[in-house]
Structure 1
Amino acid sequence: MHVLLIEDDDRVAEPLVEGLSRFGFTVEHARTGAEGLSATEPAMVLLDLGLPDMDGIDVCRALRARSSVPIIMITARDSEVDRVLGLELGADDYVSKPFGVRELVARIRAVTRRARTASPDGGGSGTEPSGGSRADGCGAQRIGPLSIDRRTRQVRLHEVPIALAPKEFDLLVCLAEDPGAVCSRQQILDTVWEPDYFGPTKTLDVHIAALRRKLGDPSWIENIRGIGFRLDPPAGCAVRPDPWHGLR
């Protein structure tokens, strides 16, 4: 992944460039807002707010006016006003200094997954994804008899509404990003509970159990021992072979 780091402090930038490179990222470093705005569009922008030539908020506004590239703000500013303003201008996440490279990598991956899920065309290949997932006429994702509408946060099974708690819905959406594929426990925690979650991991098992009960069949969510979980329609669920592009 090509990452653009807009950061004027070399004491911060150099360790980040080195650390992200170890995780396989290609990092381009811009020291000013103008330099960042003139760079080739990357797959991800890491944006400091305290730049020497212009406020990072203005850089965020300019980037968002011309592109939907994911933006993570990295800054020493930790006031609620700055966080809210940055997010309202279109930033996808906000990380306060100091932070670790592993946390930043987890946030980059989480934002990337969310961006792919929300993509209008999703980069679909024109074939049906694993698990028989597709989009219906209203834009909801269908996996067999299960319908997931991310816009309205509504879930239906055999056309019957299912009431899910917010975390249960987010957990279902995480598993439904690639039906049939295994999501690791850490990937789910990073996505549903955010990378800075330090509570007991047992909460994941509690939410999985609750989601299984509400889906009416525990075989909807398979436990891959020692790895994580995957979402797959139980045997016998009818899946129409329509291609699905809306969320891939």
Structure 2
Amino acid sequence: MTRVELRQLRYFVAVAEELNFGRAAERLLIAGPSLSQQIKALERDLGVRLFDRDRRSVSLTSAGADLLPMSRALLEQAEGLRRRARRLSGADPVRLGYVTWLPADLAARTSAVARVDVDAWVAPSHTQAARVADGGLDLVPSVLASLTKGGLQSATKSLAIEYATRGIRANAVSPGTIKTPMHPQETHAALAALHPVGRMGEQSDVVDAVLYLENAPFVTGEILHVDGGMSAGH
């Protein structure tokens, strides 16, 4: 089988979503005849017909419908790889929106592991979720920190189910005792002893958890415990 290129998969997905070669070509900013030839080449490389088409209509074949979700997933993974690489290089910031409150010095706290751009527009959770779906934001902490553990789990799973079909993931980070100005230095030893790993958490531990969830496209409805094993017991 000839190697399949991501560009060809992008063309396939565009035609599958538009079910019209003309509109798909406009969306992709390429010529219609070129798009048609690329789809034919992809069908030849895969050994299956992806579309039934005549002068009036375009429709997915059963093979095309079967391969469409996998093609979308591959494109999403490739985009996730690109974003991850850019963030590792420091070239691409994490665009963060919020619903209620964020620490004023968040960017300074996270500067060692990621460049964060905090959006100044405070909006309801459903509005911010739509902005994530549209690509305007990367992350939105949208559940109040004052929820009980049971409430956090319920809210996270409910949001995950509600927004899954719109391509929006809902996850939560549940930290243990983290080194912040809330905890004086003289309390650190006692607080560290409460964690099975024998230390308090660092702010970077929470940031790493958020970045993990952001770069795990198949994870939704997850409550990630960043607590040194406290949730597992002693």
Q: Same fold (TM over 0.5)?
A: no
Task: Tell me which protein shows more strand as a share of its residues.
Answer: 1
TM-score (norm 1): 0.32
Q: Which has the larger radius of gyration?
A: 2
TM-score (norm 2): 0.33
